[in-house]
């Protein structure tokens, strides 16, 4: 099932959809317009009773107008074409507006407008978590909140089949839209960029533009609408209040650090032959550690360990924990609840013996090919060649082309073979040729290396983009030898002085204001790594 985030645009909708592709790629999402109609209730289930729309809630739901300049990973010295998008938001305590990160991420201007107000008010993004798709806005004119009060939030998860109403400003009109439905499912699932969290599924029709609007049960908000399922009807997704509260507590100091996560690979313990191999009694239930996050002797978890409890919460053979008589979610959900001071208490079974261990948790699993996470790409221009970091956003268009991916796989490109790897001592990140070569005689006769991963400079393996820039800066040899990390790739030999002399002309001819991003220019100008 493909899933799609919901921000809409006031310009042609297809333009905005194209802009969502890069950030959605790391979660396997393909942005596209979707819509749904309410499904007829099953004969076995009575139609939900839904309370009337609340005037107080209506008064506190806002339409958000954003002017976005997303990054262009293939021209990292510039930004993508501006896009005008709209979404929704809701007033919360502290004279703030809560919305989705994808509505305001990379925004150069944000404005909000209440349902019955004629004026738009300028806003500033004061906190954002792209991985959990949440953001907080502050208004330029706080007198707005004199008439628009916070919407109260429920303190518990909604029940499955509980009636809900989704408020927002979907594509197709300027007035507030309210749709009805029920809660269909509650899960703990991957979000974006290696993050995970609770997600509530509803069947109330939501569409592009509903992003950031509240979903209400009774007279309280249960979460924010943020996503719909593509190629399906009446499947919409909500970020529940528990995730909202974790985010708001995190950003209380003005910075988002992220949630504690257990990143060890685990598998279920259902197969009877697997249990026989491990000599397990029927009373032992839990999740089997398939691959620990670290292999050093000091790390508390080992291969074949069985995680039976997270804190006081038992884990079953499917790797699930109970949240009630009729609700189970992945056991990793409890980690974000019980972790303290960077560690989570686990009960494990090892070689038939129960043990209590304290396992380190991080904010996310480090990735050799990470997401930009709301930042713009770093880059460096050297003669007619542009270097940058490999990111999920860079791979977005390549992933959409099966022929390109097949070719990269056949050639053994690390962009394919190391997609899920963590950084190590040899590679902090992958350095790529991010753009086709600029036309120049210095690269005449070489095939274009766009998308190739740089392996070494004059025989020295490249660890990172900063390292590559320092190698080019300190090189004294007359020739620069670039090798690339793939089969059947050319090795490039370039004249060092001529490359340096050509750089200024390349920048001028192509309207590039700086040879590199500020961080890379610090390295080029001699600052220490």
Angle subtended at Cα 494 by Cα 490 and Cα 495, rounded to the nearest 5 degrees: 165
Which is the catalytic residue, given 23, 66, 88, 102? 102
Question: Are residues 311 and 325 in contact, defined by beta-carbon separation less than 8 angstroms?
Answer: no
Closest among 241, 217, 186, 207 to 49, alpha carbons compared: 217
Backbone angles phi, psi at 466, to 5 degrees: -60, -40
Catalytic site includes residue 23: no
- Cα–Cα distance between 79 and 255 in angstroms, integer? 25
Beta bridge partners of 87: 64
Half-sphere exposure of 22 (CA within 13 A, CB side): 24
- The DSSP letter of residue 123 is E
Q: Residue-wise over 321-333: b if at least 16 C-beta within 10 A, else e?
A: bebeeeebbbbbb
Give the torsion sign (CA, 6, 11, 16, 19).
Answer: negative
Q: Which of 66, 88, 184, 211 is catalytic?
A: 211
Contact 25, 419 (CB under 8 A): no
Per-residue DSSP letter, 89: E
SS3 content of the chain, % helix, strand, coil (to 5): 20, 35, 45
> Can you tell me whether residue 373 is helix, strand or coil?
coil
CA distances (Å), 107 to each of 64, 335, 377, 438, 494, in order? 11, 33, 16, 30, 40
Opening angle at CA 9, ends 6 and 13, nearest 5:
85
The contacts of residue 208 (CB under 8 Å, 6+ apart) are 6, 7, 8, 9, 13, 16, 33, 34, 170, 171
Spatial neighbors of 223 by CB under 8 A, at least 6 apart, are 200, 214, 215, 238, 239, 240, 241, 243, 244
Tokens representing 471 are 């190698």
What angle is formed at CA 60 by the lines to CA 54 and CA 63, rounded to 5 degrees? 115
CB 36 within 8 A of CB 118: no
Write the CB contacts of 232 (distance below 8 Å, at least 6 apart in sequence).
1, 34, 36
- The count of other CB atoms within 10 Å of the CB of residue 229 is 17
| Residue whose C-alpha is closest to residue 381's, from 442, 458, 425 | 442
Whether residue 290 lies in the annotated active site: no
- Taking the C-alpha atoms of residue 159 and residue 328, their distance in angstroms, rounded to an integer, is 12
Cβ-contact 18, 33 below 8 angstroms: no
What φ, ψ does residue 205 adopt, rounded to 5°?
Answer: -60, 125
Tell me which residues are annotated as active site.
Answer: 102, 211
């Amino acid at each position: 099932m493909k899933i799609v985030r919901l921000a809409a645009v006031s310009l042609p909708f297809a333009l905005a959809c194209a802009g969502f592709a890069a950030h959605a790629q790391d979660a396997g999402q393909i942005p596209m317009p979707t819509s749904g109609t309410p499904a007829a209730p099953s004969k076995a289930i009575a139609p939900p009773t839904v309370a009337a729309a609340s005037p107080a809630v209506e008064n506190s739901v806002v339409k958000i107008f954003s002017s976005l300049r997303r990054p262009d990973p293939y021209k990292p010295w510039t930004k993508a074409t501006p896009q005008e998008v709209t979404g929704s938001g809701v007033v919360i305590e502290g004279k703030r507006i809560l919305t989705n990160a994808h509505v305001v991420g990379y925004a150069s201007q944000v404005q909000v407008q209440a349902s019955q107000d004629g004026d738009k008010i300028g806003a500033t993004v004061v906190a954002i978590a792209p991985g959990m798709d949440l953001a907080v806005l502050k208004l330029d004119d706080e007198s707005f909140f004199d008439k628009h009060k916070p919407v109260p939030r429920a303190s518990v998860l909604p029940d499955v089949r509980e009636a809900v109403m989704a408020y927002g400003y979907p594509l197709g009109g300027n007035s507030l839209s309210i749709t009805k439905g029920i809660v269909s499912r509650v899960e703990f699932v991957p979000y974006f960029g290696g993050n995970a969290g609770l997600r509530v599924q509803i069947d109330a029709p939501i569409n592009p533009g509903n992003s950031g609007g509240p979903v209400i049960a009774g007279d309280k908000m249960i979460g924010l609408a943020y996503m719909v399922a593509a190629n399906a009807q009446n499947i919409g997704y909500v970020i529940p209040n528990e995730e909202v509260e974790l985010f708001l507590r995190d950003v209380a100091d003005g910075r988002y650090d992220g949630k504690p996560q257990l990143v060890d690979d685990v598998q279920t313990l259902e197969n009877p032959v697997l249990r026989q191999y491990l000599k397990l009694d029927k009373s032992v239930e839990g999740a089997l550690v398939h691959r620990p996050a670290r292999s050093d002797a000091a790390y508390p978890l080992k291969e074949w360990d069985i995680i039976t409890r997270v804190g006081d919460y038992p884990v079953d053979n499917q790797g699930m924990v109970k949240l009630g008589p009729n609700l189970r979610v992945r056991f990793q959900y409890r980690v974000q609840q019980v972790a303290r001071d960077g560690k989570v208490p686990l009960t494990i079974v090892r070689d038939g013996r129960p043990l209590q261990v304290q396992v380190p948790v991080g904010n996310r699993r480090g990735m050799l090919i990470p997401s930009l996470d709301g930042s713009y790409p770093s880059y460096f221009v050297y003669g007619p060649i542009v270097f940058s970091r490999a990111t999920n956003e860079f791979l977005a268009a390549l992933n959409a082309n099966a022929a390109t991916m097949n070719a990269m796989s056949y050639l053994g490109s690390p962009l394919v073979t190391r997609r899920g790897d963590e950084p190590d001592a040899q590679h902090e990140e992958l350095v790529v040729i991010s753009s086709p070569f600029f036309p120049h005689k210095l690269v005449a006769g070489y095939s274009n290396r766009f998308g190739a991963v740089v392996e070494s400079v004059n025989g020295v393996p490249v660890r990172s983009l900063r390292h590559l820039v320092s190698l080019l800066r300190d090189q004294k040899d007359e020739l620069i030898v670039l090798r690339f990390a793939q089969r059947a790739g050319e090795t490039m030999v370039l004249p060092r002085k001529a490359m340096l002399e050509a750089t200024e002309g390349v920048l001028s001819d192509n309207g590039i204001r700086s040879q590199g991003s500020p961080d890379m220019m610090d390295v080029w100008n001699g600052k220490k790594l």
